[in-house]
Structure 1
Amino acid sequence: MKNEIKKGNPFALLPLGVFLVLFVGSGIITGDFYKMPSIVAFLIAGGVALLFNRKVNLEEKMNVFCKGAGDTNIILMVIIFLLAGAFSNVAKTMGGVDSTVNLSLSILPSNLLVPGLFIIACFISVSMGTSVGTIAALAPIGLGIAQKTGIPVSLVIGAVVGGAMFGDNLSMISDTTIAAVRTQGCELKDKFKVNFLIVLPAAIITVILLAVITSGYIAIPNQSYEYELIKVLPYILVLVGALCGVNVFALLGSGVLFAGIIGIATKSFDLLGFIEAVSGGIGGMYELSLLSIVVGGVVGLIKFNGGIDYVLYFVTSKINSKKGAEFGIAALVSVIDLCTANNTVAIVAAGPLAKDIATKYDIDPRKTASILDIFSSCWQGVIPYGAQLLTAAGVAGISPVEILPYLYYPGLMFVCGILSIAFSKPIIDKVKSHNVA
């Protein structure tokens, strides 16, 4: 009987299968992977999960759902999402994005436009915490560079997308980073250090590749870009504060206030405008917050019905080492991201299971969080039906498929992620030694 409990119930995973069929099926049939909202698909999956285990009444099942939805990590994650949305929108409304972009372009050497644009995208995405926002801000600039130099548009846009995914994976206020950290129970700064060591080689190689490939094109003359340095300070505050280990709630709260004060002082908005910007930013996170709560409830039911136990049994029966478990986590989050076209959803869905596997095999939570974020982000940066490539292609007026050959960074990030699992011990030990010192 004890072994039977450990094996779990494979049919309890049916709700996850229902979600994937609904989401992916609607995308294939309609050609639009956003026709079926993720939250609707997960609600239907939750309804299927409630049909299991007839020995338990509906009220008790709903209690299980609510307990999973109201898990401490889920609620804390939701609050962080709301604060991150408020900060991002206030900083954007007061002109922080424009100033940050123009400051970066002012520093950029004219003969290194494309690799420089990649670096700028890295900085802005780390500061803003959104890959789509970074692409929307920089893709028009990249398009202009391509038109004036003759560099292929798809190459320049590929550099922008790559830089955007760098920050999506690493930013302290990125919803993917927040989800990975909260589901694995580690600190933002610690995950950043481990994650950064893994992907830094990919970024360096990307810069070199872009510099070599575009070296034969004629550079455009230096242009002047207007910016206000004071409007860049909120992003620097959040970045530095996070690296120094400031509590994320205090950090984002102070970031919102600081950006608001600068916005009012520079007359970008008045007090009511500041409040409206805060409200708009929070409103933009409603769907993601509700989705996280619903996913938490569905995962709670799947776990209650024995689905998680079965997956653990299946995974552990196929692997016999810590590295095998890490590869299993990477594969799990990769498949979910390819199916959902949303790396945050992939991390939220795979996170609890990854935590159980990590506990089973004594995997460092910082490494698990990094694996979740890296492998969901690298796939998210190359799927033609994802928001990132669709946004970039829409601005550039080209097909998302045309950008694929030039997505150097996501591909290299995948390779670095694989190598980090194969040679993980030296990296983790190095970070641990540094922290102890």
Structure 2
Amino acid sequence: MEKGKASALVPIGVFLALFIGCGVIFRDFYAVPAVVGFLIALLVAFFQNRKRSFGEKMNTIATGMGDQNVMIMCLVFILAGAFSGTAQAAGGVDSVVNFALSIMPPGVAVAGLFVIASFISLSMGTSVGTIAALVPIAVGISQKTGLAGALCVGAVVSGAMFGDNLSMISDTTIAAARTQGCDMKDKFRENFKIVLPAAVATFVIFIVLTMNVPTEIHGIYEYDFLKIVPYLAVLVSALCGLNVIIVLVLGLALSLGVGLFTGMILPQQMFGVIAGGPDGGGGIAGMYDITVISILVAGIIGLVKANGGIDFILSSIRKVVKTKKGAQLGIAVLSSAVDISTANNTVAIVIAGPIAKDISDEFGIEPKRTASLLDIFTSVWQGILPYGAQLLYASAGAAAVGLALTPVDIIPFLFYPILMGISALIWILFGIGERKRI
């Protein structure tokens, strides 16, 4: 195998320099929109390697962007946005939150917040949406019980990352499965086995920390079970093995039907809530950035690969990694490093996914396991980065209801993301769940 060229990785370095540099300078890691950063990186990649003609480079970009997995992934992003926006407009989010709160066992409010956040993010496929919905409730529980606000908010963020990592309609799951060419149900099952011990341990920790504090919360939480049905239908049908596109179309149809039946969506509004936008919530518009980013990154990776960048990474890894176990640790380090740099776990998976695919092919790692490792380790860091969207939303949501919390205040109580990473490392180091060679 060719050694490749380190210079071919310059475009990725340019993106990271722009993103991190401007984040530090302006104290805002969203000062440079990712889509702009990747467009600049694409231009840098295009002007490399003068031996190749303009037409050859354009053909490489178009081939990378038009890859079957990339296009299917973008279609799934669009359908997931349409379903999410429609279900939210139909009142599904409020009903899911209130239903979960209404069945919370008395005396376990903080552990209950973790379970509720897990259920909601698993249903909705968004950690940020879950955090936005539950942080005000977590602050209320803190104020009524005297429990530390950071502890209550930490339980919400922990649960939100559980669902974000596993949900069938989460953009991270979609990206991880498509970049590795595996079925999402297979990735879910593999992923769930790895993170279940971490989830159970987190629940126990929250129970132990609050066992001597009276945490029973009284209140009336109104919900309409009919509005929850689309989320349950998506979750169950996905676990039963239906194709994700069919699952999302089914969820979209059910959400529209429920919204029209209950009057939450008027006939003249139904196409608007699907499309979304500034006045209509998320919808398809909420997926524009990640869809365009996925296409741009595919073009960049195509040029980087043609210029020898992927060969350089693989040859470098081969110098240090000699076993399947080492390759999995390499994928963990790769995905972690990219997420720390970009503060966006979906973008990190889109960038690291093609490289991880080559590594897994080289060392015989099952696609579902590689997809799980990609999603897990990017979610680990995404859940604890003080400049990541999750903790920024959590601190802002707490401030909006009168509780001053910085992202750093919440980090000591983010038990689940940390334990998720530990659990995944144990699975790698001890070879748990690996298919034995005959």
Q: TM-score when scaled to structure 2?
A: 0.96
1:222-265: CA deviation from partner (whole Å, max 9, x where unpaired): 32210001111001000000000001111101110111001100
> Post-superposition shift, 1:428?
3.6
Q: Are 2:45 and 1:49 equivalent residues in the alignment? A: yes
- The percentage of aligned residue pairs carrying the same residue is 53
Equivalent residue for 2:209? 213
> Post-superposition shift, 1:195?
0.3
The runs of 5 or more residues in structure 2 that have no matched partner are 277-282, 400-404
Runs of 4+ in 1 over 4 A off after TM superposition: none
Equivalent residue for 1:132? 128
CA contact (8 A) 1:321 1:361 kept: yes
CA contact (8 A) 2:158 2:414 kept: yes
> Post-superposition shift, 1:220?
3.6
Q: Are 2:2 and 1:24 equivalent residues in the alignment? A: no
Distance in 2, Cα, partners of 1:167 & 1:126: 4
Equivalent residue for 2:198? 202
Q: Which amino acid aligns with 1:174?
A: S
What does 1:169-248 align with in structure 2 at a 5 Å threshold?
A: 169-248=165-244
CA contact (8 A) 2:108 2:216 kept: no
Equivalent residue for 2:87? 91
Q: Which amino acid aligns with 1:416?
A: S
Moved more, 42-51 or 154-163: 42-51
Equivalent residue for 2:250? 254
Distance in 2, Cα, partners of 1:184 & 1:198: 18
What does 1:287-366 align with in structure 2 at a 5 Å threshold?
A: 287-366=289-368
Corresponding residue to 1:388 among 390, 414, 428 = 390
Distance in 2, Cα, partners of 1:219 & 1:279: 42
Distance in 2, Cα, partners of 1:94 & 1:50: 45
1:174-206: CA deviation from partner (whole Å, max 9, x where unpaired): 000000000001001100000000000000000
Equivalent residue for 1:151? 147
CA contact (8 A) 1:263 1:269 kept: yes
Distance in 1, Cα, partners of 2:112 & 2:251: 27
What does 1:56-135 align with in structure 2 at a 5 Å threshold?
A: 56-135=52-131
Q: Are 2:277 and 1:271 equivalent residues in the alignment? A: no
Name the Cα RMSD after superposition. 1.2
Distance in 1, Cα, partners of 2:48 & 2:223: 59
Aligned length: 426
Q: Are 2:156 and 1:160 equivalent residues in the alignment? A: yes
> Post-superposition shift, 1:415?
0.2
Distance in 1, Cα, partners of 2:364 & 2:217: 55
Q: Are 2:429 and 1:427 equivalent residues in the alignment? A: no
Q: Which amino acid aligns with 2:408?
A: V
> Post-superposition shift, 1:317?
1.4
State the SS of the aligned residue for 2:241.
coil
CA contact (8 A) 2:138 2:156 kept: yes
Q: Which amino acid aligns with 2:187?
A: K
Equivalent residue for 1:435? none
> Post-superposition shift, 1:221?
4.2
State the SS of the aligned residue for 1:111.
coil
Corresponding residue to 1:411 among 409, 418, 424 = 418
Q: TM-score when scaled to structure 1?
A: 0.96
1:123-180: CA deviation from partner (whole Å, max 9, x where unpaired): 0000000000000011111111001000100000000000000011000000000000
The runs of 5 or more residues in structure 1 that have no matched partner are 433-437
Distance in 1, Cα, partners of 2:50 & 2:179: 30
1:293-344: CA deviation from partner (whole Å, max 9, x where unpaired): 0000000000000000110111011111000000001100100000000000
1:25-51: CA deviation from partner (whole Å, max 9, x where unpaired): 000111100001111111111111112
State the SS of the aligned residue for 1:256.
helix
CA contact (8 A) 2:109 2:217 kept: no
Distance in 2, Cα, partners of 1:7 & 1:147: 60
Distance in 2, Cα, partners of 1:429 & 1:53: 41
